[in-house]
Every structure is written in C-alpha cells, then in structure tokens.
Amino acid sequence: MDSGSEGEGHRALRHGPKRGRGARDLRVIRDAALLCRNGKVVASGSIQEVERLATGGSATEPLAKRTAETTGTTSPLQVIDAKGRVVSPGFVDAHTHLVFADWRAAEYGMRAEGHSYLDIAAAGGGIRSTVEATREASFQELCYRSLGFLDQMLMLGTTSLEAKSGYGLDCETEIKQLRVAAHCDEKHPVDVVSTFLGAHSIPIETDRQRFISQVIGMLPMVKGLDLARFVDVFCDEGAFTVEESRRILLAAREFGFGLKIHADELKWTGATELACELGAVSCDHLIKVSEQGIRELAESNTVAVLLPATSVFLGECRGAPGRALLDAGAAVAIGTDFNPGTSTAMSMSLCMTLACSTLRLSPEEAFTAATWNAAWASGLGGKAGGLFPGLQADAVIFDADDYREVAYRFGTSLVDTVIKGGKVVVRDGKLMYR
C-alpha cells in the first residue's frame, strides 16, 4: 500500500500534500513488490513488473525463489518475503516534543480529578515544570533519553519525525535541546527535523515583552548554528497572543525559517488565520478552530496537523474538526504530540485509530495523514512518506493482510519489520540497526 505512488494520476502529488477527499486515494496493489537501491525506491508495482526491473528482464525464475534475505551470494539482492502482509510507507510523526527531562505523572491524577490545563499551569505544573527539569539535565542525559524514545518510535513504525525545542525558555537550554535533536538525527536511523519553539511559554524570571525580545534575539544564533529548520509559537490562551506571535514569526521569516504555529488548542484566538496569512508550513492542534479558519486552511498551502491523542488525553474527546477540514478541501496530517504533559503517545497507529474514531477520518485518510501529508508538514515533502521512485526507501511491514487493520486493531502494534533507507532496522519487532 502506497499513499503516494507513481503514475499519471499521482505525479502531481510529488509537489504537495493530498487535499480534501483526495486524501482517500491510496494506491493499494495486491501481490506487489518494492525495489530499493542505494537507500531509494527504484520501483513499486506488481511482482512481475518489479522482478523484470530487478533482473533486467532476464530472470528465469521468480526473484523470491532465487534467494531469501542474502547479499552477495547467488544474487546481489536482499529479498524480504512479505507475502500475506501489508507494506506501507514508514510513518512520519508531524509533531513531537522529543527532547525533555522527567515525566509529569502527578498532573495526570490532577487532570483525572477535573483540573484543567490552565489550572495545572497555575499550580506550578505544565510546561514550566518540564523547563526546570530540562534546564538541570545534561546534554548526555537528554541524548540518552531521546535516543531511547526514538528506539521505541522506530519499533512502532515511525521512520521520520519533527521535534520541537521549547523546554528551555532561555538561550542556553534551547540551544542544548536543539543540539540534542541534531545529535539524534546523526546517530539514529529515524530522521529528525528540528523546530525552534522558544516561544512555548513565558518563564517566571522575566516579563512578556522582554522575553519576546529575547526569543527574537535567539534567532540569529539558531540560524547561524543551523540547528532548526522551522520556528514555532504557542499562540493560545495563557501563552502568546496573535500579535505577539506575528512579531516573532515575521522576525523568523526574515532569517529564512519556515513557520509553524500551535493554533487554537485551548481557545479560539485567530491563530489559524494568522498561520494562513503568513504562509506557515503547518498549524497544529486546531481543537477550537473557527469556521473561517477552516475555510482559509482549505484555500491555503498550510497543512492542518491534528493531534488526536492530545485531545483525548486532555478530555477534549471531540477533538479537532477533522471531517470538516477534509470536506472543506484542507490538507490534513496527524502527529503524536509526544511530550511529558499532555500526550505521552508514541504510536502513530494509535493516533490513526483516534483520528478515525474521534475526528471521523476514514482509514485511508488516516494513512495519508500519517505518511504523505505528515511528510509535507515536516519539511520532508517529496522525500519521505510514499513509496514511489526517487523517495527514501522507508517502509513498514505489518502483520496484517488488510491495511485497515493498522488503525482498526488498536492497543497493540502490528509492526513486524521496519526498513529505513533500504536497510532493515526492525525485524520481528526487535531493533536490528545496532
């Protein structure tokens, strides 16, 4: 199954995400094969078509019979038999807060007793709690934790993700977080795309306007060190206003950063409309997005990144209006929002389940949102999220014979094998890359 496969009807998709009802257009091929070389997809299609390409049209017996998972012996090809199983592009997690210290389990109990996100923040919890712990943690400690998280995500089928800073709220710690993310990208098979989220909250040691100036002042250093591709702002009640967000994002654009916004999660603020106005790559959350915001997203190139695990975790089970966004013609992606306070989920297949059950996406739309569209929301459009020629050979083999089972059979992982850049990195649910 390929959410972005080659062919006349699909070539245009190389240049952008799937929009509206087009998100249902999966290329599902029975008895299919995938040919990879030098870390890239060379061909995908029927077994007969791909075997002809693999053998130069001279094969006398089926490729799978000539060799099985061998290299350099009777055949230069490694053959993986996925008969009776589903093969899809690797998941792309479009929104994570990968690098942090400590968990916030106590807040979970407070939330279960009826305390709101803002109540918890006012009591000294929330983002500021993680900020204190992350400031105290060493670079080595954060690397160890983050690499461990990536291992777990990889075993769950995630091959690329976007990772935000934002638990420093000072120059030293924000840079430390971004350096950890860069280290992870270098050392781990999962591709990590970094986002600078210096404007995540207001630290207790300064006032709003001074801190906004400090965030803007960090931009030249982040750019000069090449530590982030995007700049994000938490534009919501209790965080940054639309005008404050505009000021930060316009400064970021001047330095050549792509733009992202945490938008309309807790209350409608007009953040979605701002994202569309500024040409942001994505705006994320959208639980409280307005009808006007939905219309503007449908008319823009901004991807709506929905985070259903977060809305369920926060008790907003209705979540973002996924069905309305798709019906309006917007491009929709999903992510885990993995973080220590409001979504500890690492599983993209679980988020697909929640997207179907709470946001009313179809299984096909959820697959597109978790692969092809998520890649575009993460700055990896045309590189990851599909299985057509020229893209990274990132694929997942599921222990299922129907692609709909990936979302349908929630609460467990059906991942058997993960291929990253043409190499097997997970087999039988176990890490193989070390």
User: pLDDT per residue over 181-230, tens digit each?
Assistant: 999 999 999 999 999 999 999 998 899 999 999 999 999 999 999 999 99
Angle (CA) 247-253-255 rounded to 5° is 110
Contact between 6 and 381 (Cβ < 8 Å)? no
Q: By residue range, what is the domain housing residue 62?
A: 11-89+386-431
In this prediction, residue 66 carries a pLDDT of 44
Q: Looking at the domain assignment, is residue 231 inside a domain? A: yes
Residue that is written with structure tokens 């970021």 in the block? 252
Closest by CA to 320, choosing from 329, 328, 311, is 311
Q: Are residues 274 and 323 in the same domain?
A: yes
Mean pLDDT of the chain: 91
Alpha carbon distance 186, 254 (integer Å): 28
Same domain, 356 and 258: yes
Supply the pLDDT for residue 69.
Answer: 42
CB 212 within 8 A of CB 244: yes
Please state, in angstroms and rounded to a whole number, the distance separating the CA atoms of residues 176 and 100: 11
* pLDDT value of position 1: 64
Q: Indicate left, alpha or beta for 420 from its phi (over 0: left) and psi (-120 to 50: alpha).
A: beta
195 and 278 share one domain: yes
Establish if 415 belongs to a structural domain.
Answer: yes
Instruction: Compute the distance between CA of residue 77 and CA of residue 53 in angstroms, rounded to an integer.
Output: 12
Mention every residue, 6+ apart, whose C-beta is less than 8 A from residue 287: 264, 265, 266, 311, 316, 318, 319, 320
pLDDT for the residue numbered 27: 87
Do 309 and 413 fall within a single domain? no
The separation between CA 203 and the C-alpha centre of its own chain, rounded to angstroms, equals 27
Mean predicted confidence (pLDDT) in 127-135: 94
Its sign, for the CA torsion 88, 185, 348, 151, is positive
Token pair listed for 77: 């090809």
What's the confidence (pLDDT) of residue 14? 62
Contact by Cβ (8 Å): 268, 282: no
Section 239-261 average pLDDT: 98
Instruction: Identify the pLDDT of residue 219.
Output: 98
Considering the domain architecture, whether residues 217 and 342 belong to the same structural domain is answered as yes
* Banded pLDDT at 70 (limits 50, 70, 90): very low
Cα dihedral value 207, 99, 93, 418, nearest 10: 180
Residue 5, domain member (yes or no): no
How far apart are alpha carbons 261 and 251 in whole angstroms? 14
User: Are residues 19 and 117 both part of a single domain?
Assistant: no
In terms of domains, do 200 and 320 share one? yes
At 3, is the pLDDT very low, low, confident or very high (cuts 50, 70, 90)?
low
Radius of gyration of the chain (CA): 21
Our count of domains for the chain comes to 2
C-alpha to C-alpha distance for 22 and 124, rounded to whole angstroms: 45
| Paired residues of 417 in beta bridges | 397, 427
CA distance linking residue 229 with residue 241, whole number of Å = 23
Nearest-angstrom CA–CA distance, 280 and 276 = 6
Considering 337, 354, 377, which residue would you say is the last residue of a domain?
Answer: 377
Model pLDDT for residues 286-313, shown as the tens digit of each residue: 999 999 999 999 999 999 999 999 999 9
On whether residue 180 sits in a domain, the answer given is yes
Q: If DSSP codes are grouped into helix, strand and coil, which group holds residue 118? A: helix
- Tokens (6 digits) for 391: 């893209």
| Distance of alpha carbon 116 from alpha carbon 127, whole angstroms | 14
pLDDT at 433 > cutoff 80: yes
Q: What is the pLDDT of residue 115?
A: 85
CB atoms within 10 A of CB 279: 13
Domain at 411, CATH number: 2.30.40.10
Task: Read off the pTM.
Answer: 0.92
Residues 60 and 183 in one domain: no
> Could you tell me the pLDDT band of residue 5, with boundaries at 50, 70 and 90?
very low
> CA nearest 174: which of 143, 199, 147?
199
Q: Are residues 317 and 186 in the same domain?
A: yes
Q: Does a structural domain hold residue 52? A: yes
CA–CA dist 365, 184 (Å, integer): 30
199 shares its domain with 214: yes
**Residues 186 and 58 occupy one common structural domain:** no
73 plus 105 within the same structural domain? no
Query: Domain boundary at 377, 403, 421, which?
Result: 377
Q: Is the pLDDT assigned to residue 64 strictly greater than 80?
A: no
Among residues 356, 377, 398, the one where a domain terminates is 377
Please give the C-alpha separations between residue 323 and each of 23, 187, 332, in angstroms, as whole numbers.
Answer: 12, 38, 10
Give the helix ranges, DSSP H, for 162-283.
171-187, 208-224, 242-254, 271-278
CATH code of residue 190: 3.20.20.140
Asked whether residue 6 is domain-assigned, the answer is: no
Six-digit token pair at 23?
Answer: 């998100």
* Residue 169: closest CA among 218, 125, 120: 218
